[in-house]
Structure formats: C-alpha cells, structure tokens
C-alpha cells in the first residue's frame, strides 16, 4: 500500500494558481519569491495576474507550474511531511519530472527554475513557427498510432510524444506529417484526431537542438540522488542515480512521455494512491482512466493540504 507523488505538466497552468497558497502560508510565498529571484523577474506577477497568453508561453509556463508544485511541497513539509518516510516514489509529466526531482532534492529550487526557463526557451526556439504540430489521437491503441506515424513519416518527422493513457495519445512532428497521421488515425477508427494549439512540436526529434541545450545546462548544475526514486518519463521505471537522471532528462526532450506505463508500473508495484502536487487535476483524471485500482488525489489548495496531511501523517 505505497504512496507516490506526481507533478503536473504543461497545460495545467491557470492565471491565479498558487495565490491562495502564497496568501495563506509563508513557506509558499517564499517559494515564489525565490523563483522570482532566480529568474531575475517577477514571474509570480504573471502567474497570479496574467495575462493568460503570457503565462502560457512555454518559457513561463514551465517554471510557473514547478513553482506552484514546490510551494505545495514546502507547505506539506513545514507541517510534518517527510517525503522519504511517507512517500515511496515521485514522477512528473514532462516538465513535471523537474518538479518531482526538485521535490526529491536532486535540484535546488533556484536551479530548477533556471533549468526550466532554459528548457522552455530552447524548446520554443528549436523549430521555426508553423513548421511543427501536435495532435491528440483519441481511441486508438498504441501500436496503431505507431503504425500511422510510421506511414506519415514519408512527409517528415512524426512520432508519439505522450502516451497519456485512457485512450489518449499525442503525436508530434512536422506539420504535414502530423496532419497526415491524424487523417490516417481517423481512417483506422480513432474516435477523434485533434490538432493541438501548441507553439512547437514537443517530444519529437525536431527538438534535438533543445536536447543539446539541456545537456549543457544539466552538466553545469549540482545534482544529488533523489531521496526517493523517480519514475523517469522515457523509461517508466524507477531511477535514483543522479548521472543517469541527467541523461534521461536530455532524452526526454525528444522522447516519449510514457505516462500510461508509469501509472501501470505504480499499480503493478503496490502503489495505491497518487497525490498530484500542484496546479489542476489532469494527472488525477488520467490515473482513474488508466487503472481503477489506483486512486488519484489532487493537492493544490489550503483545504487539499489539510486533507492530505490528515491522511499522510494523521
């Protein structure tokens, strides 16, 4: 009956997120202040006041979501949570993997904020606007989506970016190829194939320049072994070695976020409860659809924190 903490990825952001935490808890306010200082700008003002289109920019959304997750963590820890004693594993969806690693002590908060700013900028700059695309394929098996991507590759790069589970798989690559794959998926019986309003083709081979940028950035920061193992996105298995984690984070930029397999790994290894730490409840919803034996619980408000502490430490 083990517990894991999961950390949300891009798409969970919303203007105003974390404001109630910062207003209620000095530990949370200190997180936002430290992130502002690390980045040399008032990201907290954008998080709490918008505008939404500025918060949604990849270079802002990534450190912003991490800040909210770590704000929740710092409040939990100030009130008695011991991650190493009460939690068996951490995992995060895409950028959420950095939040998970920060929570587990691999990176300092300031370094995590700077790494995610570098990551966001590098991912945005990797592909000229309009060249890439992403699409959500609903209701097709993984193997079928792989097959349509392979067929569409005659028009350019195309691959699975996120296997989110619950019948949702996101593909990414060059625009013509992704559009072709989406059409083929519909022919194969997909319930829906929807082009996503994203600014770049994340988790595709087109992100290779961003992977190079992250290799250099990760080589320049101090890394510790996480206090609990992280379930790496590209491996869907636990990792604790800091050097290995750095390599997997580089691989993650161009590789597949294996979230369905991550939740399945939890279920197969007696993890019964996933606390989603941070903004929104996307991962909580996915957990329910992937494996009914796993319970997802979103923790992002002061009331959520009280409930989580009561369950975790009594």
Instruction: Show which residues are catalytic.
Output: 94, 203
Residue 42 main-chain phi, psi, to 5 deg: -90, 70
Structure token digits, residue 130: 């309009």
| Cis before 51 (ω within 30) | yes
- Rounded Cα–Cα distance for residues 314 and 311 (Å): 6
- Rounded Cα–Cα distance for residues 3 and 126 (Å): 37
- Rounded Cα–Cα distance for residues 149 and 201 (Å): 14
Q: Name the packing angle between helices 96-103 and 109-125 (round to 10°).
A: 170
* Neighbouring C-beta atoms of residue 1, cutoff 10 Å: 7
CA distances from 140 to 133, 145, 184, 186, 255 (A): 19, 7, 11, 9, 20
For 264, the enclosing helix (H) or strand (E) is helix 259-268
Residue 150: HSE in the Cβ half-sphere, 13 Å Cα cutoff: 6
DSSP letter for each residue of 12-69: ---TTTTHHHHHH-HHHHHHHHHHHHHHTS-HHHHHHH--HHHHHSHHHHHHHHHHHH
- Rounded Cα–Cα distance for residues 145 and 137 (Å): 8
Do residues 9 and 116 touch, judged by C-beta distance below 8 A?
no
């Amino acid at each position: 009956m083990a517990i894991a903490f999961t950390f949300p990825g891009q798409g969970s952001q919303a203007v105003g997120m974390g404001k109630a935490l910062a207003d209620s808890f000095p530990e949370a306010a200190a997180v936002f202040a430290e992130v502002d200082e690390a980045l040399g700008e008032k990201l907290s003002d954008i998080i709490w006041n918008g505008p939404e289109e500025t918060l949604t920019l990849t270079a802002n959304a990534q450190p912003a979501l991490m800040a909210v997750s770590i704000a929740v963590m710092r409040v939990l820890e100030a009130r008695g949570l011991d991650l190493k004693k009460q939690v068996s594993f951490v995992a995060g969806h895409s950028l959420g993997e950095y939040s998970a690693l920060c929570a587990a002590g691999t990176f300092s908060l300031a370094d995590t904020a700077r790494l995610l700013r570098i990551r966001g900028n590098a991912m945005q700059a990797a592909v000229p606007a309009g060249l890439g695309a992403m699409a959500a394929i609903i209701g097709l098996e993984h193997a079928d989506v792989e097959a349509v991507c392979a067929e569409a590759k005659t028009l350019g790069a195309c691959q699975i970016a996120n296997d989110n589970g619950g019948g949702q798989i996101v593909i990414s690559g060059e625009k013509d190829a992704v559009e072709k794959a989406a059409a083929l998926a519909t022919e194969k019986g997909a319930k829906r194939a929807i082009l996503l309003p994203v600014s770049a083709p994340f988790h595709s081979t087109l992100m290779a320049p961003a992977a190079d940028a992250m290799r250099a950035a990760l080589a320049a920061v101090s890394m510790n072994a996480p206090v609990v193992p992280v379930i790496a996105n590209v491996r869907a298995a636990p990792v604790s070695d800091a050097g290995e984690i750095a390599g997997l984070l580089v691989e993650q930029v161009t590789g597949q976020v294996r979230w369905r397999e991550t939740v399945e790994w939890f279920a197969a290894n007696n993890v019964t409860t996933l606390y989603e730490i941070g903004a929104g409840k996307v991962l909580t919803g996915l957990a329910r659809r992937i494996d009914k034996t796993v319970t997802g619980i979103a923790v992002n408000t002061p009331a959520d924190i009280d409930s989580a502490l009561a369950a975790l430490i009594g």
